[in-house]
Amino acid sequence: MTDSEKNAILDRITIGTKEIFKDADLIIEAVKENMQIKKETFKELDSIVPANCMFASNTSSLSVTEMSNGLSRPVIGMHFFNPAPVMQLVEVIRGELSTDEQVAKIIEIAKDIGKDPVEVNESAGFAVNRILGPMLNEAIYELYEGVASMEDIDKAMRLGTNMPMGPFQLADYVGLDICLALMETLQHELGSDKYSPCPLLRKMVRAGKLGVKTGIGFYDYRR
């Protein structure tokens, strides 16, 4: 990327607080994966934005129906995948309060920005993370139980399933705190111990080793 291309992109980004929302048509929330924080964010926005503004959440597993409760407009899920500039998929999550018009508009917007959306009815973990989260968690259990080394588990999954990166590298890119929050949501919402987070995953998060965003997770990115 040239300097002029970089500057052109930065010139299109406006940074601010409440004043930048007053004329918004769509807000995509991407705060911490915590229901209370998300609800508080939308509640504050609800009193600032115009009546036609749509609310969307980039949550990876939480209920958009619960986020909508008490607002003047429903929240819809617009779940991008990491890394967002590269990954084509956007899950459009239809909550209990979502309208057909809202869903159609979000699908249209996703396509307009070059993404390939899928429509999903709200359920814990949605379509992808309901499968992906337990797979990553199971890989961590294999390491925890001494089945194989981290490097060999990653290698086996790359070569054996044609994954572009192994589960530990992928978990580091997703964020180990997000992986933990996802498993806790699945366990709570679906009521099954098969979704119990691996103790090693909890320990990593408690140590602040969250993956790429902190410089260290299962791999060390500080070098």
The pLDDT tens digits of the residues spanning 130-157 come to 999 999 999 999 999 999 999 999 999 9
pLDDT at 22 over 90: no
Question: What would the mean pLDDT of 60-89 be, rounded to a whole number?
Answer: 93
Give the predicted TM-score (pTM) of the model: 0.85
Q: pLDDT class for 45, splitting at 50, 70, 90?
A: very high
Question: What would the mean pLDDT of 196-206 be, rounded to a whole number?
Answer: 98
CA distances in angstroms from 143 to 91, 151, 157, 182, 219, listed in the order given = 30, 10, 13, 19, 13
Q: How would you label 161-174 residue by residue, b for 16+ Cβ within 10 Å and e otherwise?
A: eeeeebbbbbbbbb
Q: Round to whole Å and give the CA distance between 48 and 23.
A: 9
What's the mean per-residue pLDDT of the chain? 95
Give the dihedral of Cα atoms 208, 213, 217, 218; nearest 10 deg: 160
Active site residues: 79
pLDDT > 70 fraction of the chain, expressed in percent and rounded: 100
Predicted local confidence at residue 19, as pLDDT: 84
